[in-house]
């Protein structure tokens, strides 16, 4: 081992605490990159493999009732490689031992085994007998939630007729990786299940013999999806087509897309923060080491070491710090990615998960981490090469300071000497002080990014459950019913109040912009289900006008007073120009609302309803569920009270985990910046501080200088951190916004205070660790050192 190698290891061992602080910050960047980017690729690869193997469709469409013969014309559309026509419908399930009603979606199976597209994967048992009318296969999560297996049975009300069904097997389908029922906020495997039944049984139950109401298409590579959708809509229009759509807005796939986009965004945004802070810390520490080792550098050059060897020596010191960070980051990142893979396996219904953080991800993270450490060391290493032996072995010239405006202001304030030393130390090294402030500000911003989501989720819950949807349950009818059905609902046990709503499938257009979304027709006196604007006021659709959610209006480029073209789909094939009368705030889904009487007059029909909002007496809830299980014409129920409770519990758990992780990250950033800054400050000002002790200053007074500089910088970092945190929170809300949901930007004073307290507390803890070294200073030895 050469002399420089021995010196390198001695220096690294001597600086282990500072090196560890930097390595931990660097490790955070490596771990987050491995976890987010690795899982982004794993989730993407798993989905791609699953879709390919099980022939997931590219285009989907629903219709009222189309003849089977139409499939030949659909298959003849240029670019269509496969067609699957089927019958689907909603049913009410009566599960043994379960008081609440459950909802199921029935899907027909062809006589010859599995369908050609959206092929389900058999997990247990067998497929139903094609000749049977009582056998079903169910999705595996639903079976596990109830402890079902082949041979078990439950009751279902199918199109008004109750029958006992026997389970023959369990399946998983690429169409239901994220299984969420109509109107639900998150998967409920106990309350919502997918049932596959023989085609003849389903067609007979829903009066669809010789017809279909759902079709899926597989396209050849390079085919224009939009052109196929247009041709498909033209064919389905006479049969009540509800508008074809692509895979991108298929419900299950949309949620997976949102999660993949979130992982990709995390991999692109957060790791650079840690790598940048690491580069700054390496530069600060290494620059001070070189300043302290001027004589050693001069001696090395005098005995024959070249500039390249000296520079390489200090770059290798930074490299060791980088390697330590990479090692820790790889270990933590591998563990986190595996834990996240297990979580995804539970959250999404994949039959398998291609969990592999490929070697190139490790290599990329290592290269970026070493580059960050090397970038931070380059400036300091080049400074070492510019020192000639004679200059390096002589004491460094004292820095030249001039009395500027700030010095005269400090003198005018007549501050105590320790306070003057704190302020001068900050002002005389403005670049280093500014970077320290920036590093601590980023820690504040990271903490704010975690804490603001709690307030944002509270805003979503309050807006959705307490302001807009105040009903206890929503009853979904299998088809539009006369308004008189509301009187029957009112007579159900436990129903205190009921309101009816009419849903109209439509496509809204403004020039080249368009969006498929249902329009909900409400009565002006609706109180259980309402639309609310940004000021919290209830907005009522006027006769002949539309109320749009803010996000839907923004996507269509509309403002109040504009006209929008509404093409109604299904059996109501009409197009109307409607004015936008106002905007509503809606965080979950996209909403459009119109006056109930105007909607019925528009289509020249007697008043009809698609759903009923009900307020329930909790004491009679069990009796209501017992009655709903046998109610004909009911397609499903949404218990909003249960949904809110599950939503709040899930959010509370996820927010707690996220806040804990982000708090750890913020503390590591703070400790890395504050500890190294205080160590550098102590090494630079040890002679000054020792002089003050000799002159009679107490330990507390001398410590105040060391602590004061770091804590003052930490305090100055707070407003900067608040501003950066606001920008980061704004970027997060923009990244999470989609047709499915939006996260509002809610920054309450407690969010700022909590982030600041964590960073200030971590800064104080880090500088107190350095202060212990101040107590152990050998005053005589320090005074003998050269300036």
Residues 649, 701: one domain?
A: yes
The confidence band for 395, taking pLDDT boundaries of 50, 70 and 90, is: low
CA distance 268 to 262: 10
For residue 483, being part of any structural domain is answered with no
Check whether residue 652 and residue 581 sit in a common domain: no
771 plus 647 within the same structural domain: yes
Q: For the chain, what's the residue count?
A: 787
**Which domain does 544 fall in, by range?**
495-616
| The residue to which tokens 């109180």 are assigned | 527
| Pair 592, 665 in one domain | no
Last residue of a domain, one of 170, 185, 207: 207
Q: Residue 66: its pLDDT value, please?
A: 92
- For the stretch 549-592, pLDDT in tens is 988 898 899 999 899 999 888 777 888 999 999 999 888 778 89
Q: What is the mean pLDDT of residues 281-296?
A: 73
Residue 446 sits in the same domain as residue 532: no
What's the pLDDT tens digit per position in 85-95?
A: 999 998 888 88
Residue 713 shares a structural domain with residue 774:
yes
Residue 250 lies in a domain: no
Does the structure show a pLDDT above 90 at 26?
no
Res 120 pLDDT > 90: yes
Claim to verify: residue 99 and residue 147 sit in the same structural domain: yes
In a domain, 273, yes or no: no
What is d(CA 262, CA 208) in angstroms, rounded to the nearest whole number? 42
CA distances from 193 to 178, 363, 475, 624 (A): 12, 43, 17, 21
What phi and psi values does residue 177 have, to the nearest 5 degrees? -65, -40
Task: Note whether residue 521 is domain-resident.
Answer: yes
Is the separation of the CB atoms in 559 and 553 below 8 Å? yes
Q: Residue 481: CB partners within 8 Å, gap ≥ 6?
A: 608, 609, 610, 633
661 lies in the same domain as 585: no
Alpha carbon distance 94, 80 (integer Å): 40
Of 116 and 641, the structure prediction assigns the larger pLDDT to: 116
Asked whether residue 94 is assigned to any structural domain, the reply reads: yes
Which residue, chain included where needed, has tokens 């420089």? 4
Counted domains in the chain: 3
pLDDT digits (tens, 9 = 90+) for 433-463: 888 888 888 888 888 887 887 788 888 888 8
Which among 183, 207, 231 is the end of a domain? 207
Query: Which of 361-375, 613-627, 692-706 has the weakest average pLDDT?
Result: 692-706
Do residues 606 and 732 share a domain? no
323: in domain: no
Question: Are 684 and 545 contained in the same domain?
Answer: no
End position of a domain, from candidates 207, 236, 253 = 207
Q: What is the CATH number of the domain that holds 552?
A: 2.40.40
- Same-domain status, 499 and 463: no
Residue 394, domain member (yes or no): no
If asked whether residues 100 and 197 sit together in one domain, one would say: yes
Please state, in angstroms and rounded to a whole number, the distance separating the CA atoms of residues 228 and 234: 10
Does 561 fall in a domain? yes
Residues 6 or more apart whose Cβ sits within 8 Å of residue 729: 448, 449, 452, 745, 747
């Amino acid at each position: 081992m050469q002399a420089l190698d021995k010196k390198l290891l001695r220096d690294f061992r001597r600086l282990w605490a500072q090196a560890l602080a930097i390595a931990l910050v660097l490790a955070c960047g490596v771990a987050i990159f491995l976890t987010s980017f690795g899982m982004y690729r794993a989730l993407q690869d798993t989905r791609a493999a699953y879709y390919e193997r099980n022939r997931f469709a590219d285009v989907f469409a629903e219709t009222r009732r189309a003849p089977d013969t139409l499939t030949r014309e659909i298959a003849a559309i240029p670019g269509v490689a496969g067609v699957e026509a089927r019958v689907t419908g909603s049913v009410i399930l009566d599960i043994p031992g379960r008081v609440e009603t459950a909802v199921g979606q029935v899907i027909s199976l062809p006589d010859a085994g599995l369908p050609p597209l959206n092929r389900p994967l058999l997990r247990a048992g067998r497929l139903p007998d094609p000749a049977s009318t009582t056998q079903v296969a169910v999705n595996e999560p639903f079976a596990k939630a109830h402890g079902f297996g082949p041979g078990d049975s439950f009751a279902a009300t199918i199109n008004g007729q109750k029958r006992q069904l026997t389970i023959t097997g369990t399946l998983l389908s690429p169409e239901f990786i994220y299984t969420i029922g109509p109107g639900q906020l998150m998967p409920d495997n106990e309350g919502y299940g997918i049932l596959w039944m023989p085609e003849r049984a389903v067609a007979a139950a829903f009066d669809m013999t010789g017809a279909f109401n759902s079709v899926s298409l597989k396209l050849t590579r390079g085919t224009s999806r939009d052109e196929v959708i247009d041709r498909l809509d033209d064919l389905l229009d006479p049969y009540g087509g509800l508008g074809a759509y692509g895979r991108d807005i298929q419900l299950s796939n949309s949620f997976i897309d949102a999660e993949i986009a979130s992982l990709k965004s995390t991999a692109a945004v957060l790791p650079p923060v840690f790598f940048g802070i690491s580069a700054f810390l390496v530069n600060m520490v290494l620059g001070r080491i070189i300043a302290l080792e001027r004589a050693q550098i001069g001696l090395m050059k005098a005995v024959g070491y070249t500039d390249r060897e000296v520079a390489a020596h200090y770059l290798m010191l930074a490299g060791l710090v980088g390697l330590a960070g990479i090692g820790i980051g790889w270990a933590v990142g591998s563990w986190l990615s595996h834990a996240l893979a297990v979580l995804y396996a539970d959250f999404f219904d994949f039959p398998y998960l291609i969990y592999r953080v490929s070697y190139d991800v490790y290599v990329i993270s290592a290269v970026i981490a070493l580059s960050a450490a090397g970038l931070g060391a380059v400036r300091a290493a080049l400074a070492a090469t510019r020192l000639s032996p004679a200059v390096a072995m002589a004491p460094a010239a004292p820095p030249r300071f001039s009395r500027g405006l700030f010095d005269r202001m400090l003198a005018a304030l007549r501050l105590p000497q320790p306070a003057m030393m704190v302020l001068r130390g900050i002002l005389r090294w403005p670049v280093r002080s500014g970077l320290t402030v920036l590093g601590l500000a980023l820690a504040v911003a990271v903490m704010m990014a975690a804490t603001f989501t709690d307030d944002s989720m509270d805003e979503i819950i309050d807006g959705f459950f307490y302001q807009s949807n105040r009903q206890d349950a929503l009853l979904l009818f299998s088809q539009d019913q006369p308004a008189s059905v509301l009187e029957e609902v009112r007579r159900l046990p436990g129903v205190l109040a009921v309101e009816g709503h009419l849903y109209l499938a439509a496509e809204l257009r403004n020039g080249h912009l368009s969006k498929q979304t249902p329009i909900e027709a409400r009565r002006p006196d609706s109180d259980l289900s309402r639309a609310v604007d940004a000021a919290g006021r209830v907005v009522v659709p006027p006769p002949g006008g539309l109320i749009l959610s803010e996000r839907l209006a923004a996507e269509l480029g509309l403002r109040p007073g504009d006209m929008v073209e509404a093409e109604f789909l299904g059996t109501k094939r009409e197009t109307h120009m409607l004015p936008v009368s106002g905007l509503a705030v809606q965080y979950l889904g996209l909403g459009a609302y119109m006056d109930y009487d105007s909607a019925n007059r528009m289509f020249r029909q007697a008043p009809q309803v698609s759903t009923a909002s009900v307020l329930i007496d909790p004491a009679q809830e069990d009796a209501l569920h017992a009655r709903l299980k046998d109610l004909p014409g009911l397609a499903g129920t949404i218990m909003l009270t249960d949904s809110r409770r599950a939503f709040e519990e899930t959010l509370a758990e996820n927010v707690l985990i996220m806040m804990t992780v982000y708090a750890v990250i913020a503390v590591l950033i703070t400790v890395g910046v504050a500890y190294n800054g205080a160590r550098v400050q102590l090494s630079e000002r040890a002679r000054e501080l020792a002089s003050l002790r000799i002159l009679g200053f107490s330990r507390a007074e001398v410590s105040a200088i060391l602590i004061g500089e770091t804590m003052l910088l930490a305090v100055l970092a707070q407003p900067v951190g608040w501003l950066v945190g606001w920008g980061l929170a704004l970027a997060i809300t923009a990244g999470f916004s989609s047709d499915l949901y939006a996260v509002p930007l809610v920054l309450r004073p407690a969010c700022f205070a909590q982030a600041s307290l964590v960073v200030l507390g971590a800064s104080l803890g880090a500088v107190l660790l350095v202060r212990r070294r101040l107590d152990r200073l050998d005053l005589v030895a320090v005074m003998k050192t050269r300036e």
